[in-house]
């Protein structure tokens, strides 16, 4: 347990609550930085398609359902106390992988179960940089509609979690995740000491053989005002836990910033924007850095 762990999370202080307005602000500011986005919900699309098949009159409905919707209406986020997000400042990441180690230690994971994985990248100028990749906590997560038994779900606070007591292990969520952020328990999980609380989606310890696990932003720590393991253990302070409701972001070094301004000032981007998943992990890039390989050009 590091001392930073007791850091209060953004938004935990009632004094800086700015109600829903702050979240809206952050969102629109984020959009400015990222450019227009299209939120295209699969559930809506399917709903529309079925309706269209049933009657010709429903054609309009189907067309409406397929139309882009404003991002602010994504999910049932209205009224939640927090909307969790993450900011990763790639300018400061030195590739030490302490985030990965801390996460695996905390959740009793195998070494290859890198819920937050640090990718080694090459910048356009030939230099090396690092890109930590947690779960993107998409506003429109492709893994949730894919699961046949509804074991994936999205909380009102914007966290996508896995109910391992229900997961059958079809692994179609691993197929649908464009970020390669899901990890299966292919063999016996790392044994964990007897836990005081029951294994649940927000505290999936120990892991269950034959089910899928993934980064959960340390969902069990957030309500008690603690930072996720990766945030608390980053010696460079490169990872921030953000709350879009209070419009704040805090890193493990104790720095707290205004989220919307921080993102806008630093031209934050999101990973694979074109996939329409609306990730809630924002990356701040240094010179020649790029998170999205799709943007790269083969010369």
Partner 1 sequence: MSTATRTRGDVGVDQIQGVREAALRPVLETPRWFWPTVGLLAAVVAAGVGAWLVQIHLGLASAGYNDQAFWAIYEADLVTFIGVSYGGAVVSAILRLTHTPWRAPLTRIAEATALVTLPLGMMLVVPHLGRPWLIWEFLWPPYWNLSSPILWDFFAVSTYLITTAVFFYLPLIADLAIGAKILERRGTKRWLAVLWRFAAGRYDSGTRHRRILDGSINLVGIMVIPMAVSVHSVLSFAFASSSRPGYSETIFPVYFVVAALYSGVALVIVFTAAARRLFHLQGFITGDHIVRLGLVMLPLGATYLYLTFTEYLVDGYSNTLGSAAWVRQVIMGRYWPEFWFYVVGAGLFPILVMAYRRTRKASWILAASVVVLVAMWVKRLVIVIPAATEPLVNSPLSASGALSSAWGTYHFSWVSIVVTVAFAAAIPLLLLILFKFVPVLAIAEMEEMAASQDSHSAQPIPPPGRSVQVDSGSGLVQRGGAGDA
Contacting residue, 56, 57, 187, 196, with partner 1 by CB under 8 A? 187
Task: Identify which of residues 114 and 251 has a Cβ nearer to partner 1 in the complex.
Answer: 114
Contacting residue, 168, 223, 224, 255, with partner 1 by CB under 8 A? 168
Interactions with partner 1, residue window 194-233 (CB under 8 A) = 208-212
Quote the least distance from Cβ 262 to partner 1, whole Å: 24
Which residue from 3, 4, 1 is spatially nearest to 231, judged by alpha carbons? 4
**255 counts as binding partner 1 under rule CB under 8 A:** no
Q: Give the separation between CA 167 and CA 273, rounded to whole angstroms.
A: 28
CB 91 within 8 A of CB 244: no
Task: Identify which of residues 208 and 264 has a Cβ nearer to partner 1 in the complex.
Answer: 208
Q: Give the separation between CA 16 and CA 270, rounded to whole angstroms.
A: 26
Quote the least distance from Cβ 136 to partner 1, whole Å: 11
- Other beta carbons less than 10 A from residue 130's beta carbon: 18
**100 counts as binding partner 1 under rule CB under 8 A:** no
Task: Identify which of residues 16 and 108 has a Cβ nearer to partner 1 in the complex.
Answer: 108
CB 9 within 8 A of CB 231: no
**46 counts as binding partner 1 under rule CB under 8 A:** yes
Contacting residue, 6, 21, 32, 43, with partner 1 by CB under 8 A? 43
CB-side neighbour CA atoms (13 Å) of 141: 28
Contacting residue, 34, 58, 101, 169, with partner 1 by CB under 8 A? 169
Task: Identify which of residues 197 and 297 has a Cβ nearer to partner 1 in the complex.
Answer: 297
- Give the binding-site size for partner 1 (rule: CB under 8 A): 55
Contacting residue, 62, 137, 167, 219, with partner 1 by CB under 8 A? 167
Interactions with partner 1, residue window 108-127 (CB under 8 A) = 112-113, 117, 119-124
**149 counts as binding partner 1 under rule CB under 8 A:** yes
Interacting residues toward partner 1 by CB under 8 A: 42-43, 46, 112-113, 117, 119-124, 128, 131, 133, 142, 145-150, 166-172, 174-176, 178-180, 182-188, 208-212, 275, 290, 293-294, 296-299
């Amino acid at each position: 347990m590091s001392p930073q762990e007791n850091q209060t999370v953004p938004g935990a202080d009632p004094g800086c609550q700015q109600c829903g307005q702050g979240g809206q602000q952050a969102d629109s500011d984020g959009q400015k930085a990222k450019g227009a986005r299209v939120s295209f919900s699969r559930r809506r699309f399917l709903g529309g398609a079925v309706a269209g098949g049933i009657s010709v009159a429903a054609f309009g409905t189907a067309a409406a359902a397929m139309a882009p919707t404003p991002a602010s209406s994504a999910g049932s986020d209205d009224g939640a106390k927090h909307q969790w997000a993450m900011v990763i400042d790639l300018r400061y990441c030195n590739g030490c992988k302490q985030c990965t180690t801390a996460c695996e230690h905390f959740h009793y994971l195998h070494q290859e179960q890198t819920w937050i994985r640090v990718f080694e990248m090459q910048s356009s100028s030939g230099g090396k940089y690092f890109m930590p990749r947690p779960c993107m906590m998409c506003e429109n997560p492709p893994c949730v509609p894919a699961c046949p038994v509804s074991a994936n779900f999205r909380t009102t606070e914007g966290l996508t979690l896995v109910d391992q007591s229900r997961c059958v292990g079809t692994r179609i969520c691993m197929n649908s995740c464009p970020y390669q952020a899901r990890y299966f328990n292919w063999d016996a999980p790392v044994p964990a000491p007897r836990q005081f609380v029951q294994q649940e989606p927000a505290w999936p310890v120990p892991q269950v053989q034959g089910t899928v696990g993934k980064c959960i932003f340390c969902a069990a720590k957030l309500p008690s005002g603690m930072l996720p393991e990766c945030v608390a253990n980053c010696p460079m302070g490169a990872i921030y836990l953000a709350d879009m409701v209070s419009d704040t972001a805090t890193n493990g070094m104790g720095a707290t910033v205004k989220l919307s301004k921080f993102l806008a000032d630093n031209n934050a981007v999101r990973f694979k924007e074109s996939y329409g998943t609306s990730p809630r992990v924002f990356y701040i890039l240094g010179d020649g850095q790029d998170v999205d390989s799709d943007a790269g050009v083969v010369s």
